């Protein structure tokens, strides 16, 4: 077993004071690969104290110097990509190529943070009345917290924190305790880039650490990505303690397929968007919604052999399409959803429940699964199935398909495949979803556009990356200033409501 995974506070690795440890697993083997220190409330206090001290000088550091460090971080990050991919694969289970894809998307957020001077330069209006000038400035909040999920151990922490650092804040990151090593390595990369100690801190742990962050008076804002249940808790607790909160929850992402779509193209995109990373992505396609029985039958005919052909293996198998789930409990949960769908009357087209991999019999693997004739009343449809079991929900027409999307409690992502421009325009105008794809299966925007869902997929204000991130991590001050000439006369007090005349 490797050595313990420690916290990173004030530029140093620290064990913490709680004495609590949690097991970190290799999902492919089911074996414990390390133990991770879990933070207590006192450990969180220490991290916030280090961040608070460092934030005072960082906020006054010139924009030029901050940008220099962001550029350095980008270069150091690129140099460390192979090492990071290895850490991600070992603890998450995703293939090395998938981990490299995650890291490439993270680069977009780093590069976009370099646009911070433009996003925070404020406004100025001269002589609004009475020779008064109005102008606004944006300043950092101070110390902010980021609570990141297991499914993107590097990308999401970077998307949460890079703009926060660029605009002058200090960050306390609480990554998933399932994948603690890559986030610690990010802290070391920041250190090599020249970031002052205390600006990027990492504390590990479970609900105790999360709740300590949400109730801490020294935390001004918190970002979260995870399940809807926890996102709602983070939102309510953070707001209750006066924090600014953006919390992103689950999704049930539909792919609507109109009869005029290229079904071979649709099938390929459904496989990639539905089963990549063992479907442990909040933007993974969960269900296909073919319009019309003929379309549905033709699509299923194309999907079945593609699903059966998917190769499953450990992260370092270069031929594997995807790997294991993150925990044994996750594996059991996905298999339970499959069982329930069959009890509810769905039809199993490809069954991955009995999958076993030679040499990895104790791994957390679920084989690729396809369930047809799923109905909206089934738990398989209502809930987010975070694993490689995808469904087919048949719709009679486009009206029914759009209604399916809008009736669901989640509104994270959705896609439509069609050659009909009018239908596509109606689709993105009417669906109540935050991120929409037209012939694009995973509509995650580029790093310079806002990311976020609607309905119960998102709580609070702010977006994960994009231009709104700079607003979320800053406070705005608006100044009214006048500089009277020495010869100006003072006529005494005026108690009427001030105007700009």
Which residues are annotated as catalytic? Answer: 282
Lookup: tokens for 431 = 């669906």
Enumerate the β-bridge partners of residue 134.
Answer: 125, 480
Residues 257 and 181: beta-carbon distance below 8 Å: no
Q: What is the DSSP letter of 259?
A: T
- Evaluate whether 169 touches 142 at the Cβ level (below 8 Å): yes
Q: CA–CA separation, 246 vs 459, rounded Å? A: 6
CA distance 288 to 291: 10
Long-range interactions of 73-79: CB distance < 8 A, separation 24+:
73/110, 73/162, 73/189, 73/190, 73/193, 73/195, 74/107, 74/110, 74/111, 75/193, 76/189, 76/192, 76/193, 77/103, 77/106, 77/107, 77/110, 77/158, 77/186, 77/189, 78/107
Joined tokens for residue 383: 């809930």
DSSP conformation class of 291: B
**Phi/psi-derived region of residue 260, left when phi > 0, alpha when psi is between -120 and 50, beta in every other case:** alpha
Pairing of strands 244-248, 221-225: parallel
């Amino acid at each position: 077993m490797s050595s313990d995974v420690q916290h990173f506070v004030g530029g140093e690795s620290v064990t913490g004071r709680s004495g609590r440890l949690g097991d970190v697993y290799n999902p492919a083997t089911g074996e414990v690969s390390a133990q991770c220190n879990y933070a207590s409330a006192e450990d969180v206090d220490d991290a916030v104290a280090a961040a608070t001290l460092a934030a005072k000088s960082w906020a006054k550091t010139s924009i030029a110097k901050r940008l220099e460090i962001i550029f350095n971080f980008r270069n150091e990050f690129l140099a460390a990509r192979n090492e990071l991919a290895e850490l991600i694969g070992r603890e998450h289970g995703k293939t090395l190529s998938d981990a490299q894809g995650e890291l490439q998307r993270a680069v977009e957020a780093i590069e976009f943070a370099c646009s911070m001077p433009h996003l925070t330069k404020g406004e100025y209006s001269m002589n609004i009345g009475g020779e008064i000038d109005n102008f606004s400035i944006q300043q950092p909040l101070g110390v902010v917290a980021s609570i990141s999920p297991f499914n993107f151990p590097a990308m999401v922490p970077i998307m949460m924190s890079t703009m926060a650092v660029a605009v002058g804040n200090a960050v306390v990151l609480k990554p998933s305790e399932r994948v603690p090593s890559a986030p610690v390595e990010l802290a070391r990369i920041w250190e090599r880039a020249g970031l002052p100690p205390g600006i990027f801190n990492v504390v590990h742990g479970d609900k105790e650490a999360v709740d300590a962050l949400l109730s801490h008076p020294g935390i001004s804002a918190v970002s979260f990505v995870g399940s809807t249940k926890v996102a709602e808790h983070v939102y309510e607790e953070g707001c209750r303690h006066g924090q600014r909160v953006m919390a992103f929850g689950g999704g049930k992402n539909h792919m609507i397929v109109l009869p005029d779509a290229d079904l071979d193209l649709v099938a390929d995109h459904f496989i990639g968007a539905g089963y990549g990373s063992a479907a442990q992505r909040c933007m993974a396609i969960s269900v296909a919604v073919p319009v019309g029985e003929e379309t549905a039958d033709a699509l299923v005919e194309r999907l079945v052999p593609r699903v059966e052909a998917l190769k499953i293996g450990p992260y370092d198998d270069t031929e594997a399409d995807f790997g294991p789930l993150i925990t044994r409990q996750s594996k059991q949960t996905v298999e339970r959803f499959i069982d329930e769908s069959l009890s509810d009357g769905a039809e199993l087209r490809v069954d991955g429940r009995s999958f076993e991999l030679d040499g990895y019999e104790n791994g957390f693997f679920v084989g690729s699964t396809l369930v047809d004739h799923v109905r909206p009343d089934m738990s398989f449809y209502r809930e987010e199935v975070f694993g490689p079991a995808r469904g087919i929900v048949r719709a009679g027409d486009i009206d029914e398909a759009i209604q399916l999307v809008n009736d669901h409690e989640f509104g994270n992502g959705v896609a439509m495949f069609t050659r009909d421009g009018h239908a596509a325009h109606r689709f993105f105008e009417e669906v109540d979803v935050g991120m929409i794809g037209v012939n694009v299966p995973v509509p995650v925007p580029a790093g310079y556009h806002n990311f976020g869902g609607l309905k119960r997929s998102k709580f609070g204000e702010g977006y994960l990356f994009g231009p709104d991130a700079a607003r979320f991590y800053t406070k705005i001050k608006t100044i009214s200033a006048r500089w009277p000439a020495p010869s100006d006369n003072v006529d005494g007090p005026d108690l009427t409501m001030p105007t700009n005349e």
